[in-house]
A and B are shown apart, each in its own frame.
Chain A
Amino acid sequence: MTFYLTVSLAIAVSSIAVLGTFMLTGMNGLFSLGQAAFMGLGAYVSAICVVNYGLPLPVAILISIGITIVLAAFVGLATLKIRQDFFALVTFGFGQAVIGLLTQMVNVTGGAMGFSNIPEYTTPALAFISLAVAIVFVWGLRKSHFGRDSLAIRSNELAAKVAGINVFKHKMIIFIISAVFAAYAGALMAFHTQYVEPAMYGWITSVTWIIIVFFGGRDSLTGTVIGALVLLAMPEVLRFTAAWSTLIYCVIILLIINLRPRGLFGTWELTLRSLTRLFKPKKAVEEVK
């Protein structure tokens, strides 16, 4: 695989995880610092299934998604009724707990030394098609009442409740779906990089995804996807170290929030209508003449 293909693949897979954060933090305003832990879960469980137990890839992925759903349900039950500040703290704690466990279970996971020799099962086709499907899923979700309810809950939870929305159930569903997105991305990534270690799934990764979402604009799916492609490609193209690229992400998002809080794309979405509108002004001028 050429360098560019490898990088594009990694970016595509990471974007799937970012979409999870888009739904959770962007659409619903749930500030979770532990999303990356679900990616780690997906990565480790599927890798262990294939390497240690010789299971085929689809089965391994299904198992990791299943476990993620169960764990996300538990965590959601425990944390989604808590106020926002504490939710951030608790999800942070959850992330640390998962990393702690992964590091501790040396016999199964290889501990801090990481888990290697994972076969390279993720093809470019699998990665890109997965991303496309993920985008379609999120698009469908936003167009439906789920999208509206998310915005309602984010804006004024009390009013949403008296309008009949079951806020807790909604949050649980979103939390689980986002976790599944992250876990699936984790699995794909594991079978691409062929090596995973607990440190990859810490809060810094979770926050990086949040930064990407707010960079593009939490109200724009197009913005988040394009933002993900741009921001994730940047360190590769400009050859930055991890520390420097993280630092630059921080500076970028501070600029965005201070100067253009709605994100680069605001609420703009790439649809047939918005594309024609881009070309319309010229038409109107001609008609006036």
Chain B
Amino acid sequence: MENSVVIEIKNLTKIFGGLCAVSDFSGNLCENQIIGIIGPNGAGKTTIMNMVSGIIQPTSGSVVFKGQDISRLEPEKINHQGIARTFQNIRLFQDMTVLQTVMTAYSWRAPYNVLETLLSLPRVGKFEKEIREKSMCWIEKVGLTEQANLTAQSLPYGMQRRVEIARALASEPCVLLLDEPGAGLNQSEVCDLVDLIQGLHEELSLAIMLIDHRMDVIMRLCKWIYVQDFGKGIAQGTPEQIQKDPVVIKAYLGEEITNA
């Protein structure tokens, strides 16, 4: 049952000017595990994910990935190590098709330099063909085969989310960070999304760190949950434990209901 720890977060803190966005967060993500970080808006969840993915530097504390301290690495280097992520506010590339968007995740693996592309050497065409096929596989996995050559931005919101997931998968990561993947989706879309994430987790043996504030998503997917409020960790445990934890309920729903 003991899976090895893939990401170890220790005392992660981020202070912006006078505001302490994240205070002393510690947590682990094990191989083949889905963990969740939940909390009301402003709790610092996205900031934690930003620090893990290298977009922000922590004020103090560390993030260790497979034994290596990645706290100060650039985002692209972290991606090369094997961590990919999606964004709460979908960040797609304007005017690019779904296929092109997913293919960007393979660019860094190009086995040639710029001079060779200037000369259009055959190696370039070969690589392009390979990554196009691989990207199509990921697009099929998220169920967007028919939309592959459409502009990503012209798609409905739910599909755009899946494009982002396909792009993250194309990095061929071992860890996937999902930032509020269900945001903006209706109930049935959320169900489909949860099925998708569950399926990917099982098929690809991905370790997943999930942020959301929708209980149905978190409860169904996560084995272990960290609860944040105003930057501080207020609870952690299995979904069942969290659901019953009075501290958590108070943070989400307020005092009156606990006392009622």
Contacts and interface: CB of A to CB of B under 8 A. Distances in A.
A146 B96 CA distance: 14
A145 B114 contact: no
A89 interface: no
Contacts of A167: 76
Nearest to A153: B93
A218 to B, nearest CB: 11
A114 to B, nearest CB: 34
Interface string A128-166: 000000001101110111101101100110111111111
B118 A148 contact: no
B117 interface: yes
Query: Which of A140, A159, A165, A173 is most buried by chain B, counting CB atoms within 10 A of its CB?
Result: A159
15 contacts: A140-B120, A141-B117, A149-B107, A152-B93, A155-B94, A156-B91, A158-B55, A161-B76, A162-B53, A162-B79, A164-B79, A164-B108, A165-B107, A166-B74, A173-B114
Contacts of B230: none
Interface string B61-90: 000000000000011100110001101000
B107 to A, nearest CB: 4
A136 B117 contact: no
A110 B84 CA distance: 56
A163 B93 CA distance: 11
Interface in A203-223: 219
Nearest to A133: B118
Contacts of B95: 151, 155, 219, 267
A148 B167 contact: no
Contacts of B119: 137, 140
B171 interface: yes
Given A156-B92, A162-B79, A148 B100 contact: yes
Query: Which of B55, B76, B100, B101 is most buried by chain A, counting CB atoms within 10 A of its CB?
Result: B76
A177 interface: yes
Interface string A157-189: 011111111110000010001000000000000
B196 interface: no
A151 B93 contact: yes
B128 A145 contact: yes
A146 B76 contact: no
Main secondary structure, interface of A, reads helix
A144 B128 CA distance: 7
Contact of B171 (A146, A148, A164): A164
Interface of A: 136-137, 139-141, 143-146, 148-149, 151-152, 155-156, 158-167, 173, 177, 219, 267
Interface string B145-171: 000000000000000000000010011
B93 A177 contact: no
B105 interface: yes
A159 B117 contact: no
Given A163-B167, A164-B80, A158 B114 contact: no
A156 B91 CA distance: 7
Contact of B120 (A136, A148, A161, A165): A136
A151 B96 contact: yes
B105 A164 contact: yes
B104 interface: yes
B30 interface: no
A275 B76 CA distance: 39
B75 to A, nearest CB: 4
Contacts of A139: 120
A164 B107 contact: yes
B217 interface: no
B120 A143 contact: yes
Nearest to B153: A155
Nearest to A176: B114
B124 interface: yes
B105 to A, nearest CB: 5
Contacts of A155: 92-96
Given A136-B120, A156-B93, A163 B110 contact: no
B103 interface: yes
Contact of A137 (B53, B105, B118, B171): B118
Contact of A160 (B55, B84, B104, B128): B104
A151 B114 CA distance: 16
Contacts of B171: 163-164
A219 B127 CA distance: 23
Contacts of A146: 114, 117
Contact of A148 (B55, B92, B96): B96
A64 B34 CA distance: 57
A79 B74 CA distance: 18
